[in-house]
């Protein structure tokens, strides 16, 4: 089993930057792909970025491409999400999740994810 704990959320001014962290504990050797999701007030959960732990390849959803960067520190078992140029649309609860596979399809739903963190809240002030 893998346990995930997010941190780094907070209130940031519009246009600012923020880095979220997700620490993984437990059977971390089983992690092939990690995904960041967010859920804005009144909206569904959406995948925003994913990273394959084997080769470090990354991808971002079209809605955040160019502003969101996913990375990881393999030695520390920590996943990061750097958000640049924060917008009001970025206000959400951000979650990290572990994929059962070596990749994740943003449109593929949630059945391929078997571990979730508790979320960290990001708000944006004008």
The pLDDT, as a whole number, for residue 12 is 96
State pLDDT tens for residues 24-46. Answer: 998 887 788 999 999 999 999 99
pLDDT, one tens digit per residue, over 43-89 is: 999 999 999 988 889 999 999 999 999 999 989 999 999 999 999 99
For 89-109, what is each residue's pLDDT tens digit?
999 999 999 999 888 988 888
Measure the CA–CA gap between 112 and 97, rounded to whole angstroms. Answer: 10
How far apart are alpha carbons 51 and 77 in whole angstroms?
13
What are the two backbone dihedrals, phi and then psi, of residue 123, each rounded to the nearest 5 degrees?
A: -125, 155
Q: How far is CA 113 from CA 38, 70, 75, in A?
A: 14, 17, 22
């Amino acid at each position: 089993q893998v346990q995930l704990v997010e941190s780094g959320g907070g209130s940031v001014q519009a246009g600012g930057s923020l880095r979220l962290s997700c620490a993984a504990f437990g059977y971390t050797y089983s992690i092939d792909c990690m995904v960041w999701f967010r859920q804005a007030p009144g909206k569904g959960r959406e995948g925003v970025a994913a990273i394959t732990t084997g080769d470090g390849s990354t991808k971002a959803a079209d809605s955040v491409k160019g502003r969101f960067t996913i990375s990881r520190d393999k030695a520390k078992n920590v996943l990061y999400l750097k958000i640049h140029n924060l917008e009001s649309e970025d206000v959400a609860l951000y979650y990290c999740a572990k994929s059962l596979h070596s990749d994740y399809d943003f449109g593929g739903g949630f059945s391929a994810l078997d571990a979730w963190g508790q979320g960290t809240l990001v708000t944006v002030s004008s």
